[in-house]
Chains A and B, each alone.
Chain A
Amino acid sequence: MIIELGHFALVLAFALSVVSAIVGFTFRGSSAQVTLFLRHAALLQFLLVGAAFAALVQAFVVSDFSLALAYQHSHSLQPLLYKVTSVWGNHEGSMLLWVLILVLFGAAVAAFGRPLPFDLLALVLAMQGLMVAAFAGFTLFTSNPFMRMVPAPFEGEDLNPVLQDIGLAIHPPLLYMGYVGFSICFSFAIAALISGRIDAAWARWVRPWTLISWTFLTLGIAMGSYWAYYELGWGGWWFWDPVENASFMPWLAGTALLHSAIVMEKRNALKIWTVFLAIITFSLSLLGTFLVRSGILTSVHTFASDPTRGMVILTMLGLFIGGAFTLFAMRANALRAGGLFHPLSREGALVLNNLFLATATGAVLVGTLYPLVLDALTGQAISVGAPFFDLTFSALMVPLLILLPFGPFLAWKRGDLVGIVQRLAGAAALALFCAILVAALSGASISLAPLGLLLGFWVMFGAIAELVEKARFGRLPIGQSFRRLFGLPRTAYSTTLAHFGMGVTVIGIVAASAWEMERVVAMNPGDTQTLAGYTIGFEGLTEEPGPNFAAEHGTFAITAPGGGTRQAIAERRVYVASGQPTTEAAIETYGFSQVYIQLGEVAANGSHVVRLWYKPYVTLIWLGCVLMALAGFISLSYRRMRVAAPTPSRRKTVPAE
């Protein structure tokens, strides 16, 4: 009964979204009453989809296997957390999660959008309604999660064991918050094109939504990367897999959008480009959904053999993206004008930032789609893998990162390069010193790694130098400088923190790639191996039953170079329902570095294949991402105040620029 109620709630939400879209587009400018209706409809859609989702969760929690989806992807022995996450550990459920987050954002716009001009808000909500209609419709008609089975099976088939992890609880919701959040920017862009009005105020409305989506997408991608790192058992953290690229492209485009929206807000320039980026970013999110959901990635032939879902998503993709670009082509010329700036200025720097980020997005897009297109056109099968992306992507990122610290130092309109070079000289010297120091300590071989480190430190110290400069350290008395530092607006801190985080991630990537050590050995209990100064002893193997799996625990004693021994447990599991084996690596963190132990199969002579890694500074990769996301939240906490409820009087602060 609850399942049918949930099903019905989703049908109602679909109907309501259709009505919203029709009413919104037809009567958008006529009165504030229409906008009020649309706002209520958006809130109601959220409640209805929320109810549908709750009904699905309830069925999984009580293991109601009369629900086909629960039968296929859950098991009564799974711990409660994994029963809940099983809801979106499959195609149908994850589409419903997609719709849930879409209506969540719609409701948030409805709730916080009161200060918006009513005709603009009506258009935005109508566009959101159209998207909910498309995706709720897709879910209902091609991927319905509410199908019953008669007779109900006694036991479920279990969730894929690799997905039975805390990662599934965190990663998809975060990623979807990012993906789907960009739909708001898209709707704002469409609304701007239809109404023909776009100005600095528009950019100010759009920026918080861009920021919130970007922040969640950053966290989502980082979480996915760390999950793959510890779960897949060979310690890789980025594979340039099409599925990863599908999430990375919106991130790159979203990063560009975040920066171009600043220019538009502050200087009223780059209008057309910002609207274009807003459309592109969400289009890439849609493309990602298509790539993953249609099955086209596995093979173009899979796609052709079961084309319903794929064709429907492709059609939706075509309509939304095609429609948006048609509108863009028709109306973009109406959005002329903007502030004038010298090429050597903050605006100019942000244009360069956008140029490199957009090119990088394009490079990833071409690399991801090229094999599919070539296969479809000529039948020729080629692979485009990590070596290609590493080469192309880093060639684009290196100049961007070299230029990054200059940007925030440049003044709006016209900058002074000589002065900036002088002010950044200290940061450059410090970066050089640190790069040489770390390279020397890590036993550098002749490679590009020290240059990579230099780049990372340059970005980090360049970011700090910006704060030092704004507080006028060294040019004002120290007390006054500190007062200035604490008086800086939060956005200044978030810029510095985000750029600093970028540098941290770069250092993590360089160090972990260049100085990783690996050893594959056959070990028996009592054996000892050494790796990078760590002594790793295999103490023994015990049988440990889990809730829905049988496990063998291999106990290892790790002695650090500086002394001190820790115990770590690497697992081999066999899941009861599927009989599928998995491994859980033992990971011990020392400072920013990790020792990673994977217990492999039993060799013919009875010994155990053990793979040992030393991964220097590897945690910096994700720590940097967390810093970037933190910067997003800091900026958001400040911006939300400005956008939703501008306070009449504020304490005096030092101007940011």
Chain B
Amino acid sequence: MRALLLAIILSLAVLSPAHAMLPDEVLPNPALEARARAISAELRCLVCQNQSIDDSDAPLARDLRIIVRERLLAGDTDTQVRDFVVARYGEFVLLRPVLAAHTIVLWIAAPLVLILGMAGVVLAARRRSAVLATTTIPSALTPEEEAALARLQERDR
């Protein structure tokens, strides 16, 4: 599977060795540079297969990294920088999807599954204890089979 991933990355990405950021891009202000890196890690390289612009060596990714740094130098906040990029390249560029009507299912899926799962577990436990309290459940095994199983288990001890 990974084999294929590697192949796809290489065939889609521009064919040059993987080395993302170049020395000349680094901002002199370390605080600003750290913000630039953090933003870059959450922006998708549009011509690559699931790579952030921080990781990608494609020229487009480089252009985006430079845009991010230019906006930061111009005094934009992190949100303003992201909005700037989204306005030009669309929501596809965000590796962390926004929380909106069309992504609500995505964001609430995991908590919902967990809550429903917990409810299911509690209900099943209640029902089982209720059933077991009132009736005796016939064993799925015949008495001979029970004996054979007991012998086997005894032997494994």
- Once the chains bind, are B95 and A387 in contact (CB under 8 Å)? yes
- B69 contacts chain A at the CB level, 8 A cutoff: no
Residues of B within 8 A of A292 (CB): 1, 4
User: When chains A and B are docked, how far (Å) is the Cα of A651 from the Cα of B9?
Assistant: 56
CB contacts under 8 Å to B, within A237-255, are 239-244, 246-247
User: When chains A and B are docked, how far (Å) is the Cα of A385 from the Cα of B46?
Assistant: 13
- B73 contacts chain A at the CB level, 8 A cutoff: no
Residues of A within 8 A of B3 (CB): 88-89, 94, 163, 168, 171-172
- A323 contacts chain B at the CB level, 8 A cutoff: no
- A232 contacts chain B at the CB level, 8 A cutoff: yes
With both chains docked as a complex, state the minimum distance between the C-beta of B10 and any C-beta of chain A, in angstroms. 5
- A417 contacts chain B at the CB level, 8 A cutoff: no
Closest partner residue, chain B, to A363 (CB atom): B110
Closest partner residue, chain A, to B133 (CB atom): A340
In the complex, given contacts A241-B50, A380-B91, A581-B16, what are 16 additional A-B residue pairs having Cβ atoms less than 8 angstroms apart?
A160-B10, A171-B3, A172-B1, A201-B149, A240-B50, A243-B4, A244-B5, A338-B128, A378-B102, A385-B95, A388-B106, A396-B110, A581-B15, A598-B18, A646-B155, A650-B156
- Once the chains bind, are A224 and B18 in contact (CB under 8 Å)? no
Residues of A within 8 A of B23 (CB): 520-522, 603, 609
Residues on A lying within 8 angstroms of B by beta carbon are: 88-89, 94, 160-163, 167-168, 171-172, 175, 197-201, 224, 227-228, 231-234, 236, 239-244, 246-247, 288, 292, 297-298, 336-338, 340, 343, 351, 355-356, 358-360, 362-363, 366-367, 370, 374, 378, 380-388, 391-392, 395-396, 520-522, 572, 580-583, 598, 600-601, 603, 609, 611, 642, 646-650, 653, 655
B109 CB contact (under 8 Å) in A337, A351, A355, A363: A363
- By Cβ-Cβ distance, the 4 closest A-B pairs, closest first, are A385-B95, A600-B19, A387-B96, A363-B110
- Once the chains bind, are B17 and A642 in contact (CB under 8 Å)? no
Given A382-B97, A383-B97; A520-B22 close (CB under 8 Å) = yes
Residues of B within 8 A of A200 (CB): 149
Closest partner residue, chain A, to B108 (CB atom): A366
User: When chains A and B are docked, how far (Å) is the Cα of A582 from the Cα of B10?
Assistant: 9
10 contacts between A and B (CB under 8 A): A239-B50, A243-B8, A337-B139, A355-B121, A360-B110, A362-B110, A383-B50, A385-B52, A601-B19, A646-B155
Closest partner residue, chain B, to A196 (CB atom): B140
User: When chains A and B are docked, how far (Å) is the Cα of A338 from the Cα of B129?
Assistant: 11
- B31 contacts chain A at the CB level, 8 A cutoff: no
- B72 contacts chain A at the CB level, 8 A cutoff: no
- Once the chains bind, are A233 and B19 in contact (CB under 8 Å)? yes
Closest partner residue, chain B, to A607 (CB atom): B23
Residues of B within 8 A of A351 (CB): 121
With both chains docked as a complex, state the minimum distance between the C-beta of A605 and any C-beta of chain B, in angstroms. 10
CB contacts under 8 Å to A, within B119-133, are 121, 125, 128-129, 132
- Once the chains bind, are A359 and B155 in contact (CB under 8 Å)? no
- Once the chains bind, are A609 and B110 in contact (CB under 8 Å)? no
- B94 contacts chain A at the CB level, 8 A cutoff: yes
- Once the chains bind, are B95 and A383 in contact (CB under 8 Å)? yes
- B141 contacts chain A at the CB level, 8 A cutoff: yes
User: When chains A and B are docked, how far (Å) is the Cα of A366 from the Cα of B132?
Assistant: 37
User: When chains A and B are docked, how far (Å) is the Cα of A655 from the Cα of B118?
Assistant: 33
A580 CB contact (under 8 Å) in B10, B12, B129: B10
- Once the chains bind, are A340 and B114 in contact (CB under 8 Å)? no
- Once the chains bind, are A520 and B95 in contact (CB under 8 Å)? no
Residues of B within 8 A of A243 (CB): 1-2, 4-5, 8
CB contacts under 8 Å to A, within B46-98, are 49-52, 55, 90-97
Given A340-B129, A362-B109; A232-B49 close (CB under 8 Å) = no
A583 CB contact (under 8 Å) in B6, B15, B19, B96: B19
Residues on B lying within 8 angstroms of A by beta carbon are: 1-12, 15-23, 26, 41-42, 44, 49-52, 55, 90-97, 102-103, 105-106, 109-110, 113-114, 117-118, 121, 125, 128-129, 132, 137-141, 145, 149, 152, 155-157
User: When chains A and B are docked, how far (Å) is the Cα of A367 from the Cα of B128?
Assistant: 34
Residues of B within 8 A of A355 (CB): 114, 117-118, 121
Residues of A within 8 A of B105 (CB): 366, 370
Closest partner residue, chain B, to A268 (CB atom): B140
User: When chains A and B are docked, how far (Å) is the Cα of A337 from the Cα of B19?
Assistant: 59
User: When chains A and B are docked, how far (Å) is the Cα of A298 from the Cα of B10?
Assistant: 13
Residues of A within 8 A of B20 (CB): 234
Given A520-B22, A520-B23, A582-B17; A246-B1 close (CB under 8 Å) = yes
Given A198-B140, A236-B55; A358-B6 close (CB under 8 Å) = no
A163 CB contact (under 8 Å) in B6, B22, B128: B6
User: When chains A and B are docked, how far (Å) is the Cα of A583 from the Cα of B8?
Assistant: 17
With both chains docked as a complex, state the minimum distance between the C-beta of A118 and any C-beta of chain B, in angstroms. 15
User: When chains A and B are docked, how far (Å) is the Cα of A478 from the Cα of B55?
Assistant: 55
B117 CB contact (under 8 Å) in A359, A374, A648: A359
- Once the chains bind, are A234 and B55 in contact (CB under 8 Å)? yes
Residues of A within 8 A of B12 (CB): 298
Residues of B within 8 A of A370 (CB): 103, 105-106
- Once the chains bind, are B157 and A655 in contact (CB under 8 Å)? yes
Residues of B within 8 A of A520 (CB): 21-23, 26
Residues of B within 8 A of A600 (CB): 17, 19, 22
- Once the chains bind, are B128 and A162 in contact (CB under 8 Å)? no
User: When chains A and B are docked, how far (Å) is the Cα of A336 from the Cα of B19?
Assistant: 58
- Once the chains bind, are B156 and A388 in contact (CB under 8 Å)? no
- Once the chains bind, are A234 and B152 in contact (CB under 8 Å)? no
Given A374-B102, A520-B23; A646-B152 close (CB under 8 Å) = yes
Closest partner residue, chain B, to A385 (CB atom): B95
User: When chains A and B are docked, how far (Å) is the Cα of A227 from the Cα of B6?
Assistant: 10
With both chains docked as a complex, state the minimum distance between the C-beta of B35 and any C-beta of chain A, in angstroms. 15
Residues of A within 8 A of B93 (CB): 383
- Once the chains bind, are B8 and A298 in contact (CB under 8 Å)? yes
Given A89-B3, A385-B44; A362-B113 close (CB under 8 Å) = yes
With both chains docked as a complex, state the minimum distance between the C-beta of B126 and any C-beta of chain A, in angstroms. 10
